Structure 1
């Protein structure tokens, strides 16, 4: 049986020096092994939910596959020490994976654990096309509010990140949560790919800060706009600029900062920012 995503745990609540026994709902995290054709490629600490989405999204964002058609099957099974997602690849993905030198094993806080060269950390990205997507400030703030409203696991535990997909026409179309911000985005990417959603029509929305690997995942997912609650790193901004990604961060209430490619943001009384 796959572990639940949250668990009630006894604790002592201390208020003004007095202790009271309580039950606290906490987010669960388990070791999830991602195995391809019988060989483990990565072991990540993750929330035990939406693991088929996770397997698909991780495979896409790590460029193990170029499309879901290269996955023949996915089996998720529980083990004494965690969970295994066994992915079976078709050719040429099988041969492509065999040529890789990457083996990852890391905690949820690191999206680049286990790489074995500087080139892998700063891998070249495709440049996103200009496209037709344009968002108003009102829509950007609505996207973040919509994501916040979709965080059922966070409401219970106060311990998870979320990633969502927003379009001007449909609003927040999908969201995924995880104890790891990278995992949440991979789960969302997998869910969108499995549903056949065109990511060029909307924006990815994150509850987290924006590091280099989050920009990499967003660009490889094909989304032209990335909206985040917290700040980006300087390197993430440079990477987003070069890849043609509009990076919006620090969304709070009705305010935010636009760091790259502001031409996709419609301002009142003007055609665009800048």
Structure 2
């Protein structure tokens, strides 16, 4: 970007290879009273430093995949930028200690970020580490205005297609997934990570890079739904979250206020809707039984 005269010269990318998403490790197995030795595939977990204008804002423990998308999604869901175009450059560098996702934003954006900067070292499964105030932790999600309506079978079919596409989870049985689905088009983007919030950030970045009109589709989650997952889904812009696990009560209240339809505990035989059921239209034979 020749016009960016105020950006310091970036070092050349490292020649270090990116860590593999999974590794095979030795283990001893005890099953039914029998002992055997062998190996098992386990997911890799590395520190990922997210830097803006040369300053580290967050270090997250994550799977070493789709890091460019992760960086963009994190910047969007954290409110550091409002659109992909506000990130002037984005580079992923493998270093001895892990991975750096280096982003450059306009100076006025950086001044605002510095004013609210916080330490955000996040262990696996933690999406709100380092938040300095209670108000910041439970801030309202953006209001979603998507109007697409889906038949229950569409939700079930969408979730059924997710499992076979989770390559890393098939190998390790130890990672979460977030996916974006549109009727008639299927799953258009899928992200996996040892952290459920990381997987969703990656998906947000993928959708922004691809320019999807996310109001048309569904967000699929393989994890429980807590408040930060709803907050991130609101940035994604989907009207419906469908998850295999249950939501927390705060997630339900947040989804209600944000105008998001929250469907959870999705199984082969159905699911439960906790907020804004109007986006999931029951079959005519079922309507009389809906309270």
TM-score by length of 2: 0.90
Between 1:190-199 and 1:85-94, the stretch displaced more is 85-94
Residue of structure 1 aligned with 2:199, choices 181, 184, 188 = 184
Greater C-alpha radius of gyration: 2
Aligned residue number for residue 251 of structure 2 = 236
Instruction: Give, in whole Å, the separation in 1 of the partners of 2:285 and 2:261.
Output: 18
1:96-150 alpha-carbon deviations (Å, 9 max, x no partner)? 2122232201212110000000111011333211x33011110111111111121
Conservation of the 8 A alpha-carbon contact between 2:141 and 2:230: no
Aligned residue number for residue 69 of structure 2 = 53
Q: What's the secondary structure of 1:41's corresponding residue?
A: strand
Instruction: Give, in whole Å, the separation in 2 of the partners of 1:271 and 1:98.
Output: 53
Instruction: Give, in whole Å, the separation in 2 of the partners of 1:243 and 1:91.
Output: 31
Aligned residue number for residue 247 of structure 1 = 262
1:19 is displaced (CA, Å) by 2.5
Residue of structure 2 aligned with 1:28, choices 10, 31, 44 = 44
Aligned residue number for residue 155 of structure 1 = 170
CA RMSD of aligned residues (A): 1.5
Unaligned runs of 5+ in 1: none
Aligned residue number for residue 19 of structure 2 = 3
| Deviating 4+ runs (over 6 angstroms) | none
Q: What's the secondary structure of 1:231's corresponding residue?
A: coil
Aligned residue number for residue 103 of structure 1 = 119
Instruction: Give, in whole Å, the separation in 2 of the partners of 1:121 and 1:15.
Output: 43
Aligned residue number for residue 214 of structure 1 = 229
Aligned residue number for residue 193 of structure 1 = 208
Aligned residue number for residue 60 of structure 2 = 44
Q: What's the secondary structure of 2:209's corresponding residue?
A: helix
Instruction: Give, in whole Å, the separation in 1 of the partners of 2:178 and 2:37.
Output: 34
Instruction: Give, in whole Å, the separation in 1 of the partners of 2:54 and 2:245.
Output: 38
Unaligned runs of 5+ in 2: 1-16
1:26-75 alpha-carbon deviations (Å, 9 max, x no partner)? 11000111111111111111000000000000000000000011111111
